[in-house]
Structure 1
Amino acid sequence: MIPSIIRKSSVIFIRTYTKYISFRKHPKLFYSRNSTSTSIMLKSARQVVPFNKVQGVASTNVHAYSNGDDDFFSVERHYLHGIFMGFKWQCVEFARRWLLMRKSCIFQPVGHAADMWHDLKFVERVTDGKKFPLKLFPNGSSHKPKRDSLLIYSRSTELPFGHVAVICDIVPNFIRIAEQNFIYHSWSDNYAREIPIVIKDNCYFLEDEDEICGWIEIEDNDELQPLDETKLDSILKKYQEAKPIGTLKRCSITDKTFHSMNNWLNKDDPAEKYFMDLFGANLIRADTDTLPYYKVDQDLTLSIGSTSNELHEMFMDATNYVIQNDDILKNFCIPEIFWPKIRESWLHERDLAMTGRFDLAFDGQQLKTFEYNADSASALFEMAIIQEKWAQAVKLNHTFMSSFQLHRLLVKSWKKICSNLNINYVHLLIDNDKDEILTALYMQNVLKNANIESKLCILFNNLYWKDSKIIDNDGNEVKLIWKTWMWETIFSDYLQAEQNGNLNRKINNEHPRLCEIVLNDHIKVIEPLWKVIPSNKAILPILWSMFPNHPHLLCTEWTLTDNLKQRGYVKKPIVGRCGHNVTLFNASGDSVLDETQGKFIDRNIIYQELFLLPKYEDYYAIIGSWIVHGLFAGFGIREDKKLITDAESPVTACSVVWK
């Protein structure tokens, strides 16, 4: 059983299900008035606006942003001028932001959108604290709806927490409303949709497909004016708040009866069976005699989510900058023969990105990024599946685990990518490595859940040339691959084949080379070629130059500066994996704190500011925060007694306590 967040409108509802259940089983209907009649249009007939993009603009300057769909929770707070609005991009967030921008007011926090009908008594003006009472008019009231009122929906099966919209206009026989997180098409006018007004016995009924409680008006509404954003110092400090960072704590299960359990995994599941073959069937880890786990609160969860989304956009900006500048791109030590193909990939394959993982450090006060593993899926299975299985086995009291959306968003992203490409068969191309096999077996499960067929290709021994195409031993043409191979390995294979004259021979029944598969113009690749830029640590000095002193970045330079020596620094190869060939120096730079060996000793070096982690019961914890298809999807924790985490550092369960 995998934790899911089921939410609609303003809030989240967290439960555990054997499968995710969507509340909306049918396309959402909305109304559009023309000169002669009301036409009912299907939501599915219009293109869905992606998450974080503007759907429309209401009341001159209040943007409505898309949440993408009904089953996504961004795990990201939104503040405007220091005032908490709500979660991106829920309906209550829009209502609070509209009131602030159009009326200079806010209302107190509410649990759910439906609660506004009973719990809200007034709004407060943020410039002087004056309270303006609210008047409630139930649907079917003799009082005609007015502009600038809040429209409140009841709880229902479709809307378990209700919904709130803003009445932005009244026209004959209709009201016009603006809203978020209800329908996801773009709207060009100043409203999202129209709702018919029906007059019965001199009473006004608003007829929508979902039940409406009524509308809320502000007394003395004419006294309220839009917020003057040129005079933000007029906002009272009591309405502004700093973003809380949150807490992280290491805990242990003390009940010894759980230590010898060996039936907590499913032996009939290939990935779980392989995990047992690698690590055994017991709950207890080999390096400890306890059952450790980490506990984070909702504030840290939200901080990790917003930090990860912000960092991803920054890395994408830096990637774009690098790709457009030859002098900068040279620092990445990528042979120039591949530059045109990288640029083409960036232009045309942006949406083929599936996963990336930030290594984040948390010292109790700050979140800093060490690097972006943009071309790696290491530990995906452990974080997405194993930690939840573990939590259930030990009967951990938790709201949900830290990777609560990861599996579901992987399934969703595969469906979207394959649908856009019109491909329903994926070849998983991996080395004969135990960690890669585990990850690939899990990815096959994800694909199966997405109703996409797949084939696991270890060292591509079951792939062949046939009539200048690459097929597998079942006769399926290779059109879309998911790989674990490093792009640098593929580049080396290409250059070696070119030097030996063994490139693109395309002889029937012969095995293709690695580079002939992955660099093939007729085969799409996940992760795409442009990912070689953000995954290269040469991007870290670029980021520091573009966003100097950013609170989530560490000072990183091409050369060892006196400033870095004084702070302490880390020496890293620009290309590497699993913490190989990393050295940590103390402040003054005269003592090595920790170092690792590896096969990346001949790579160019960058120097990054040292950021020491606190110890949790003799362990150092690194947060692995996942980006799926461009958005934060959850996180996990790796811990180790040494300062540098690597592939052997165990993934440790992390629960989220949501109050």
Structure 2
Amino acid sequence: MRRHMIEERPHWRATAETFGFRFADMYGAKYWDESAMFSFTLEEIEGSIEDPSRDLHQMCLELAGRAVGDARLLSRLGIPAAHHDYVSASWRNRAQEPSLYGRFDLAYDGTGPAKLLEYNADTPTGLYEAAVFQWLWLEDLLRSGALPPGTDQFNSIQEHLVERLCLMPQNAMLHIAGAVDNVEDGGTLSYLADCALQAGYRVKMLAMEDIGIDPVGRFTDLDDLVIERMFKLHPWEWMLAETFGQKLPHARCTFMEPPWKAMLSTKAILPLLWEMFPGHPNLLPAYFEDDPRAGELRDYARKPLFSREGENVTLVRRGRSETVPGHYGDGPFVVQAATHLFETRHGHAVIGSWMVGDEPCGMGIREDTSAITMNMSRFVPHIIAV
């Protein structure tokens, strides 16, 4: 794994606008950063990213299978008691309620095993730029001769998404719901809508607040059409806490992601995986904060069970502490041993390894000046060097 400074394409922002990448700049700063790239050998991709991601996914499924029917474990995973049966039933019916996608965030510097930082099993963003825009970047650089022929990228995300969606009922209506007016979430929703259209769906997009409930408890859209299948970019922990959460078990709606993904979209999996697979080379020691062993870690990250963009994470290393403010400080926390990220004078890099179904199929790299990846991180493209 190496970082290289390269020339930006002169008209990349116009290209971003043409292809609907309207959040290439965010928060008044550059988000997409092609002034650099990361390069990997094929052996690094296959042995240090792809294979560990497949193993971690299977370990997570084993954890979910163990948690079903175990009220203690479900509660530890942050599932409200009122929804234990709903989530468990979804897992048992997973042949009809398969997962769509997720993203493992990995620490890897090219010198040792990748380490799991967290699993974004539900509603991860960063999808469009990983699947589409960094591939367009690669094609442009190959055409211009800036990269040698045969240069590749670990990226078949779009093909896998469309293929996965093709496993679902054809010519069905799929409602795609979320914060459609948010530039980043809206971009992700639009991209998934395009993938669904390619897979043969009919698609309607709507905001979460526009979802209604009919007299028999089914969800409806603004045209009073019953919602039978929904992709929602709205985390399950929010769904289960909403006022309509009590209606979920009786709504007869098939969700992408299914309710059982709620068991894995929490940092509570970190100590539970460490308990199940102690010493695994791709895991870091991790404990619930109320576990006395958590106090024995000298360098560590303290993380809420549910948080995004690094909010309310505290990193303690070599006696120094850094905390990101946020909105997730009231819930339970886990404590995970700190590890080294790939670091240069430009920042710290985290690898996002994308899973579609049960297969790793691509990655995106975010770089931040902080060792805690936050909302100001930059997306830097990558290649597999020839």
Give me the TM-score of the superposition, normalised by structure 2. Answer: 0.89
Q: What's the CA shift for 1:544?
A: 0.7
* Structure-1 separation of matches of 2:300 and 2:238: 28
Letter in 2 for 1:424: A
> What secondary structure sits across from 1:309 in the alignment?
helix
Q: Matches of 1:517 and 1:624 in 2, distance apart? A: 34
Q: Secondary structure at the match of 2:206?
A: strand
Which amino acid is 1:455 matched to? K
Task: Please list, as runs of the form range in 1=range in 2, the aligned pairs for 1:66-465 lying within 5 A after superposition.
Answer: 248-254=1-7, 258-265=9-16, 267=18, 272-273=19-20, 275-276=21-22, 278-279=23-24, 286=30, 291-303=35-47, 304-350=49-95, 351-363=97-109, 364-394=111-141, 395=144, 396-397=146-147, 399=150, 402-419=153-170, 424-431=172-179, 432-461=181-210, 465=214
1:577 to 304, 308, 311: 308
SS of the residue aligned with 2:343? coil
Secondary structure, aligned partner of 1:477:
coil
Aligned 8 A contact 1:361 1:613 in 2: yes
CA offset digits 1:211-269 (Å, max 9, x no partner)? xxxxxxxxxxxxxxxxxxxxxxxxxxxxxxxxxxxxx1111224x6x3355442463xx
Tell me the CA shift for residue 619 of structure 1: 1.6
Q: After TM superposition, give the deviation of residue 400 of structure 1 in Å.
A: 5.4
TM-superposed CA distance for 1:323, in Å, is 2.0
| AA matched with 2:339 | F
Q: SS in structure 2 opposite 1:353?
A: coil
- Structure 1 outlier segments of 4+, above 6 Å: 287-290
Q: What is the rounded CA distance, in whole Å, between the counterparts of 2:216 and 2:67 in structure 1?
A: 38
Letter of the structure 2 residue corresponding to residue 415 of structure 1: C
Q: Which residue of 2 aligns with 1:140?
A: none
Equivalent pairs counted in the alignment come to: 375
After superposition, give the CA deviation of every residue in 1:596-617 in whole Å (9 maximum; x if it has no partner).
1111100101110110223134
Task: Find the aligned partners of 1:603 and 1:455 in 2 and give their Cα distance.
Answer: 35
- The 2-side partners of 1:549 and 1:480 are apart by 41
CA displacement at 1:297 relative to structure 2: 1.0
Whether 1:530 aligns to 2:260 is: yes
Q: Which residue of 361, 364, 374 maps to 1:636?
A: 364
Indicate yes or no: 2:350 matched with 1:604: no
- Specify the code of the residue in structure 2 equivalent to 1:344: A
Cα pair distance change 1:289/1:425, threshold 3 Å: closer
Does the CA-based 8 Å contact 1:356-1:373 persist in structure 2? yes
Q: Answer 1 or 2: which has greater helix percent.
A: 2
Larger RCO of the pair (alpha carbons < 8 Å, separation 6+): 2
Q: Describe the shift of the 1:262–1:338 C-alpha distance in structure 2 as closer, same or farther (beyond 3 A).
A: closer
Tell me which residue corresponds to 1:224. none
Alignment-mate amino acid for residue 386 of structure 1 = F
Maintained 8 Å contact 1:413/1:629: yes
CA–CA separation in structure 2 for the residues paired with 1:289 and 1:553: 29
The verdict on how the C-alpha distance between 1:470 and 1:342 changes in structure 2, with shifts beyond 3 A counting, is: closer
Which residue number corresponds to residue 382 of structure 2? 654
After superposition, the Cα gap between the structure-2 partners of 1:653 and 1:334, relative to the gap in structure 1 and judged at 3 Å, is same
Tell me how far apart the structure 2 counterparts of residues 287 and 338 of structure 1 sit (CA, whole Å).
38
> Is the contact between residue 388 and residue 401 of structure 1 (CA under 8 Å) also seen in structure 2?
no
Amino acid at match of 1:577: R
User: Is the 2:154–2:384 contact (alpha carbons within 8 Å) kept by the matching residues of 1?
Assistant: no
Counterpart residue number, 2:280: 550
**Seq. identity, %:** 25
For the Cα contact (< 8 Å) 1:401–1:654, is it kept in 2?
no
Q: In structure 2, how many angstroms separate the alpha carbons of the residues matched to 1:634 and 1:289?
A: 18
Whole-angstrom distance in 2 between the partners of 1:373 and 1:400: 29
User: Residues 323 and 620 of structure 1: is their aligned pair in 2 closer, same or farther, counting only changes over 3 Å?
Assistant: same
Distance in 2 (alpha carbons) for counterparts of 1:482 and 1:516: 19
1: distance between equivalents of 2:260 and 2:33? 44
Report the AA paired with residue 321 of structure 1. R
How high is the TM-score relative to the length of structure 1? 0.53
Residues 565, 433 of structure 1: alpha-carbon distance in 2 compared, 3 angstrom cutoff: farther
Alignment of 1:586-605 (within 5 A): 586-587=317-318, 590-592=319-321, 594-605=322-333
RMSD after superposition: 2.6
